[in-house]
Amino acid sequence: MTDKRKPYKTYTREFKIEAVRLMETSERSSTELAMELGIRRNQLYKWKEQLTGKGEQAFPDKRGRPRKEEQSEIVTLRQENARLKEDVEILKKAAAYFAKELK
> Domain span at residue 43?
9-60
Domain count, the chain: 2
Q: Do 56 and 71 have their domain in common? A: no
Residue 28 DSSP class: S
Mean pLDDT score across all residues of the chain: 84
Flag whether pLDDT at 1 surpasses 60.
no
Flag whether pLDDT at 55 surpasses 90.
no
Structure confidence at residue 64 (pLDDT): 56
One-letter amino acid at 62 equals: K
59 CB contacts (<8 Å, ≥6 apart)? 13, 16, 17, 47, 50, 51
Question: Higher model confidence: residue 40 or residue 65?
Answer: 40
Q: Do 103 and 73 have their domain in common? A: yes
User: Of 2-6, 27-31, 74-78, which range is least confident?
Assistant: 2-6
Is the residue at 1 inside a domain? no
- Residue 27's pLDDT band (boundaries 50, 70, 90)? confident
What CATH number has the domain bearing residue 21? Answer: 1.10.10
Q: Provide the whole-model pTM.
A: 0.53
Q: Do 35 and 55 have their domain in common? A: yes
Question: Higher model confidence: residue 97 or residue 9?
Answer: 97
